């Protein structure tokens, strides 16, 4: 019994020693300053990043300015990551799916940018996207040149620190408006349709119409946005039929009032014409 107790104490001492050794070793590992990273991310809100030229998965050049005209979600990842980046991209993928009911792919774009160059080549980005099953028509995976990475990440307020195991970096997405201006930062490894839907809804509802009078398609898109709510049970947006009925009822009311006023106006016009004819006949 005494021998077992001695052996247990020796094992505990060895485990404690290993933990202390790991803690001491960890002290020398670079770590991201989260407070500074958040400050840097907020500092670029309202700014317009320069027009960088990157390569898509098929090695075709793509200018960031090509995405103007619609809101844009920007996510920075590195393909050598086996934990955070795949999880972040999967969460973003689920969030984009959850936005489908409110926002079709035609209303916004998504880009994932590989910042570990030259490892995040177009071929590596293509394999990364395929492995995670990301196949959205409005989602592209882009590769900057090695010389662009520092300026590109700073322009979007993305912070990272290289470590022996890879990179310690900010997790989230940057929301850019249709004019290319950074609207907001959405942080967290569990990106949701609700978190991304709030700024996207605001940008699309506040966006100017193509002309002085909204087109039918623009009106339909805005009614759809107004009539959808986030469902936490499914993680998706769904139609709120009470809002739909209220809008339809309101439109029906205004149409009814408009028809009534138009008929009254027509009746008054006819009465005036009859009076004019009678007056002309008497004279």
- Answer yes or no: is pLDDT of 68 > 80: yes
| Interval 156-189: pLDDT, tens | 999 999 998 899 999 999 999 999 999 999 998 7
pLDDT tens for residues 56-65? 999 999 999 9
Range of 157-161, 200-204, 223-227, 228-232 with top mean pLDDT: 157-161
**Ranges 108-117, 121-130, 249-258: which has the least confidence:** 249-258
The whole-number pLDDT of residue 72 equals 96
Q: Which residues of 247-283 are buried (b: 16+ CB within 10 A; e: fewer)?
A: eeeeeeeeeeeeeeeeeeeeeeeeeeeeeeeeeeeee
Categorize the per-residue pLDDT at 1 as very low, low, confident or very high, splitting at 50, 70 and 90.
very low
Do the Cβ atoms of 80 and 119 come closer than 8 Å?
yes
Output the pLDDT for position 24. 38
Give the distance, in angstroms, between the CA of residue 193 and the centroid of all CA atoms in the same chain. Answer: 8
**Domain residues of the chain, as ranges?**
34-239, 241-283
For the segment 43-64, the average pLDDT, to the nearest whole number, is 97
Top-ranked range on mean pLDDT: pick from 12-16, 31-35, 127-131, 202-206:
127-131
Query: Which CATH number applies to 34-239?
Result: 3.40.30.10
Whether 247 shows a pLDDT value over 80: the answer reads: no
How does residue 205 score in pLDDT terms, banded at 50, 70 and 90? confident
């Amino acid at each position: 019994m005494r021998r077992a107790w001695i052996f247990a104490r020796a094992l505990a001492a060895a485990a404690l020693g290993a933990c202390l050794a790991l803690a001491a070793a960890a002290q020398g590992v670079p770590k991201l300053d989260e407070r500074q990273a958040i400050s840097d991310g907020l500092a670029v809100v309202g700014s317009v990043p320069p027009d960088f030229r990157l390569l898509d998965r098929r090695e075709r050049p793509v200018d960031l300015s090509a995405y103007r005209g619609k809101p844009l979600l920007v996510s920075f990842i590195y393909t050598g990551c086996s934990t955070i980046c795949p999880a972040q991209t999967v969460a973003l993928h689920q969030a984009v799916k959850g936005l489908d009911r409110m926002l079709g792919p035609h209303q916004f774009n998504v880009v994932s940018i590989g910042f570990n160059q030259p490892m995040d080549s177009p071929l590596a980005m293509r394999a990364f996207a395929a492995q995670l099953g990301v196949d959205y028509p409005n989602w592209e995976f882009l590769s900057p040149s090695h010389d662009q990475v520092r300026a590109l990440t700073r322009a979007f307020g993305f912070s990272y620190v290289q470590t022996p195991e890879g990179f310690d970096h900010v997790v989230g997405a940057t929301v850019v408006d249709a004019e290319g201006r950074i609207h907001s930062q959405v942080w967290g490894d569990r990106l949701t349709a609700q978190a991304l839907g709030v700024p996207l809804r605001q940008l699309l509802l506040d966006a100017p119409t193509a002309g002085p009078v909204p087109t039918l398609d623009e009106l339909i898109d805005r009614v759809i946005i107004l009539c959808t709510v986030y469902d936490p049970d499914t993680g998706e947006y769904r139609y709120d039929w009470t809002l739909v009925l209220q809008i339809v009822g309101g439109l029906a009311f205004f149409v009814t009032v408009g028809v009534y006023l138009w008929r009254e106006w027509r009746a008054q016009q006819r009465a005036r014409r009859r009076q004019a004819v009678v007056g002309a006949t008497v004279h």
